[in-house]
Every structure is written in structure tokens, then in C-alpha cells.
């Protein structure tokens, strides 16, 4: 039997460093998306962004990216 990777899931890092995402949002890998970069690309089509925060890149869902 051969096992194949099913892909990855990218989760929202929350509106700021002290709070988790209120929706527990995540981008699931679509068919054919096997790497984190590909899944992030899927998320960008749904309104997700990737930002620098405190020296680290974070993934933000549409609800959290607009939270002040």
C-alpha cells in the first residue's frame, strides 16, 4: 500500500497577537493543492491575506484582516 499526502490546511492567526480568530477560520486544500503555498493561493482567491506582524508572516482571514 502507498500513502499519499492529502495536502495542508492554513489557519487564521487572528486579528492580533493576543487574540485567536473568532471564527476559527481555515483554508482547506482544494483538489490539487498539496503545499502550504498552493493553499495560501487558494485562500487569496477567497480574500485571505498574508502580513508581517512582529517580525513574522501571519495568515489572516477576511474577517480578521479588517479588524483594527
- Residue 8 burial by Cβ neighbours in a 10 Å radius (0-12, 13-18, 19+): middle
What is the pTM for the complete model shown?
0.79
pLDDT digits (tens, 9 = 90+) for 11-51: 999 999 999 999 889 887 787 788 889 989 999 999 999 99
Task: Give the confidence band of 2 by pLDDT, cuts at 50, 70, 90.
Answer: confident
- Kindly give the residue spans of alpha helices, DSSP state H, lying in the chain: 36-45, 62-65
Task: Look up residue 62 and give its DSSP letter.
Answer: H
Q: Which grid coordinates are listed for 11?
A: 489557519
Beta strands in 1-68 (DSSP E): 9-11, 26-28, 49-53, 56-60
In angstroms, rounded to a whole number, what is the distance separating the alpha carbons of residues 31 and 27?
12
pLDDT at 34: 80
Greater pLDDT, 5 or 44:
44
Q: Could you tell me how many residues make up the chain? A: 68
> Over 80: is that where the pLDDT of 68 sits?
no
Amino acid at each position: 500500500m502507498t500513502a499519499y499526502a492529502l495536502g495542508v490546511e492554513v489557519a487564521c492567526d487572528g486579528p492580533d497577537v493576543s487574540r485567536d480568530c473568532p471564527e476559527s477560520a481555515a483554508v482547506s486544500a482544494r483538489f490539487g493543492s498539496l503545499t502550504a503555498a498552493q493553499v495560501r493561493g487558494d485562500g487569496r482567491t477567497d480574500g485571505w491575506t498574508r502580513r508581517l506582524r512582529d517580525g513574522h508572516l501571519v495568515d489572516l482571514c477576511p474577517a480578521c484582516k479588517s479588524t483594527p
